[in-house]
DNA sequence: AAAACGCCCAACCGCGAGGTC
DNA sequence: GGACCTCGCGGTTGGGCGTTT
């Protein structure tokens, strides 16, 4: 059928945004909120396509953006999350409040990739570039990589797209450190029919969906991010609410021997 | 001082998913 | 069920800027 262009290219500006354009976009979104990107440019008096406006807002103008250099903790978190999720920059960004997928993607390509390569680690597979193709028994059965990051820069415990709430009730926890342990293990696979409809195939809060249903066979890979405890992969209900699980069913031919 | 080079990052492009008619 | 539309994502590009020669 042929894809329709996202906008009338002949009548739109391209390239760098001017301050005036930024101000128009900010002013419009302040009044009307985000969304309806298709109609936003004309409504806001901008000669841009909606896509361009959305990108500009998300990557540059949003008030909750952090800006500035990445911290060592963010570095480590990005590497761990990339190991789990691959190039799913939006998912990774969802776990880094104030950072955008574009920013993380750029940072990965310009800094972290090089850093990993210099350490002899393949940035795609997260394995040593020389040899070491086979996993040890502990690696096969569960990889446990604890790292510690300040709570403020760590994963969210709510479903608000990964952004931390600044609830005053959490103030006493402000200085508490998060033990961001990532672990992987193999679990019996529950058939899709039995999955709760709300459970995302990528990430979900385990506390919201305790594993009480039966398993019917097969294997699935479970990864979790959480505070201290490591029971997420035991197949038992998880009492700790600050735990994230990433389920990825093994593809055909990926079974264990 | 200026040309060449390399890096960084904002922005663009194409595609897929999901929704609506 | 399929055509069309909108949105969001990941890959890529190119211009600006700092560093090196």
d(CA A156, CA A161): 8
Q: Where are the domains of chain A?
A: 9-61, 72-134, 135-164+174-251
For the cut 80, the answer to whether the pLDDT of residue A168 exceeds it is no
CA pair distance A200, A203, nearest whole angstrom: 6
Question: For residues A65 and A129, which has the higher predicted lDDT (pLDDT)?
Answer: A65
Higher pLDDT, A30 or A182: A30
Instruction: Write out which nucleotides of chain B lie closer than 7 A to a protein Cβ.
Output: 7-15
A51 touches strand C (CB under 7 A): yes
User: CA of A153 vs C1' of C11, distance in Å?
Assistant: 27
Does A72-134 match A9-61 at the fold level? yes
Q: Say how far A137 CA is from C13 C1', in Å.
A: 44
Query: pLDDT (tens digit, 9 = 90+) per residue, A122-139?
Result: 887 888 776 544 443 334
**A102 CB closer than 7 A to any strand C atom:** yes
Confidence of residue A35 (pLDDT cuts 50, 70, 90): confident
Alpha helices in chain A (DSSP H): 19-32, 40-44, 50-56, 72-85, 89-94, 101-107, 113-118, 137-141
Q: Is the CB of A15 under 7 A from strand C?
A: yes
Task: Summarize pLDDT for A219-231 with one digit per residue, the tens.
Answer: 344 444 433 333 3
Give the CATH fold of the A72-134 domain: Arc Repressor Mutant, subunit A (1.10.10)
CATH of domain A9-61: 1.10.10.60
Give the mean pLDDT of A174-195.
40
pLDDT at A32: 84
Which positions on strand C lie below 7 Å from a protein C-beta? 3-12, 15-16
Nucleotide with the nearest C1' to A67 CA: B9
């Amino acid at each position: 059928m042929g894809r329709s262009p996202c906008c009338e290219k002949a009548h739109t500006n391209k390239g760098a945004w001017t301050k005036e354009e930024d101000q128009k976009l900010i002013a419009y979104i302040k009044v009307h909120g985000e969304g309806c990107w298709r109609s936003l440019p004309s409504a806001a008096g901008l000669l841009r396509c909606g896509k361009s406006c959305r990108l500009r807002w998300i990557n540059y103008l949003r008030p909750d953006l952090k800006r500035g250099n990445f911290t060592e903790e963010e570095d480590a978190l990005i590497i761990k999350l990339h190991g789990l999720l691959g190039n799913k920059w939006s998912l990774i960004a969802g776990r880094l409040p104030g950072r955008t997928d574009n920013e993380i993607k750029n940072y990965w390509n310009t800094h972290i990739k090089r850093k990993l390569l210099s350490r002899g680690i393949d940035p795609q597979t997260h394995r040593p570039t020389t040899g070491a193709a086979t996993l040890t028994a502990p690696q096969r059965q569960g990889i446990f990589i604890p790292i510690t990051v300040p709570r403020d820069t760590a994963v969210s415990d709510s479903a608000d797209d990964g952004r931390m709430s600044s609830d005053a009730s959490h103030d006493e926890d402000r200085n508490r450190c998060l033990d961001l342990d990532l672990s992987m293990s193999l679990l019996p696979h529950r058939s899709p029919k039995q999955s709760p409809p709300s459970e995302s195939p990528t990430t979900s809060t385990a506390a919201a969906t305790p594993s009480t249903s039966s398993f019917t066979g097969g294997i699935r890979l479970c990864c979790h991010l959480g505070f201290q405890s490591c029971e997420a992969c035991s197949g038992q209900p998880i009492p700790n609410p600050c735990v994230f699980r990433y389920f990825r069913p093994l593809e055909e031919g990926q079974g264990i021997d």
